[in-house]
Amino acid sequence: MNIIRLHRAPHSLRPHAFTPSRSLLFSRQISATRCTRVGRNTGKDASQSSNVVKSEDGQEVVEGSPNGPSKSTVEAKRRPLTQQTASGQRDRSAVGVFTPTAALLFIATGVGLYFYFQHEKAKILEAKRKEMLANKKIGRANVGGPFELTTHTGQPFTEKNLLGRWSLIYFGFTNCPDICPDELDKMGKVVDELDKLYGPISQPIFISVDPSRDPPPKIAHYLRDFHPRLVGLSGTYPQTQAICKAYRVYFSTPKDAVPEGDYLVDHSIYFYLMDPDGRFVEAFGKSSGVGDVVEKAVEEIGRWVEEKGGATKTSVGQVAVEAEKTT
């Protein structure tokens, strides 16, 4: 505050003693002082009025006053939303929606959907596989069953010996002139082709339908001309009848036939493919070539492995190992 000090005028300058010239000079001094004060106040008010802003509640306040907004707040309000704020952060409209958090959520969602669809695909494939197996079981012929025979080396042989490998079984007799040798040769070639693809997973078997003339030693001599893994089986007449009935094989011996006689046995010309579980898979007639049999066998082997779920212990390779151990 500007304080005007008025000095006491000497006695000679008292009002009653003022002269017109001295009175005018004193008035001018007071006016000048007042103008200076007014000018200073006016400048201050002008500077303050230039910084008057509206607060959030709508009142006009002077920037920098205790009740007014800070300078940074005012600048932030005046700044466009797309610019960077005083704290260094950007507005959402400036940086867009692809923030790091949004990217992580997008990736997590994609991974989750991938595994979900893979799981659903596996369920669909499993349902189709079970449906296929069910239909196959419905259409499977009831071929095979328990039996007891003797090998050409004199060892007992039952249906349990069929387990663990793919078996090719042919019914015939050693005195057969041409058909039986041709079918046994064909069966041996099929075994060789399967060996090339999978290893020794199969066993060829010859079962005599002429028990009176085909004892084990004679069968052993007969099999020398065929595949080295070929197993010859024979038994009594009732045993032969039982296995032929189980495998649906027809055979007929002349009524007047004697063991020392020369006769032919009428029989079915088929050999059978059995899986490692001892179940019937397919029957192949005389018209089926080696390629036809191998193609069908490969198809059935693939189905069998799929049915087992591709497990190591039930895979084709494991069957081959087990076949080598028992050969």
113 inside domain: no
239 inside domain: yes
Binding residues for Cu cation: 176, 180, 267
Backbone conformation region of residue 93, classed left if phi is above 0, alpha if psi is from -120 to 50, else beta:
alpha
Angle at 14 between CA 11 and CA 17, to 5 degrees: 100
Residue by residue, what is the 3-state secondary structure of 263-311? Answer: CCCEECCCEEEECCCCCEEEEECCCCCHHHHHHHHHHHHHHHHHHCCCC
Binding residues: 176, 180, 267
* Domain total in the chain: 1
Exposure letters 48-73 (e unless 16+ CB within 10 A, then b): eeeeeeeeeeeeebeeeeeebbeeee
What pLDDT digit, counting tens, does each position of 147-179 carry? 999 999 999 999 999 999 999 999 999 999 999
210 inside domain: yes
What CATH number does residue 175 fall under?
Answer: 3.40.30.10
317, pLDDT greater than 70: no
27 inside domain: no
Q: Which two tokens stand for residue 80?
A: 């466009």
252 inside domain: yes
Domain that holds residue 221: 148-326
Nearest Cα neighbor of 320 from 229, 251, 235, 240 is: 229
83 inside domain: no
238, pLDDT greater than 90: yes
Q: Which two tokens stand for residue 138?
A: 């419905």
pTM for this entry: 0.56
Amino acid identity, position 274:
M
What pLDDT digit, counting tens, does each position of 299-314 carry? 999 989 988 876 544 4
Return the pLDDT at 306: 86
Residues in contact with 145: Cβ distance below 8 Å, sequence separation at least 6, in sequence order: 159, 246, 247
Return the pLDDT at 202: 94
Contacts of range 310-315, beta carbons closer than 8 Å, 24 or more positions apart: 314/276
Residue 226 — very low, low, confident or very high, per pLDDT cuts 50/70/90? very high
Chain mean pLDDT for the chain: 75
Amino acid identity, position 280:
F
* d(C-alpha 71, C-alpha 227), whole Å: 103
Amino acid identity, position 77:
K
Strand partners, 168: 204, 273
301 inside domain: yes
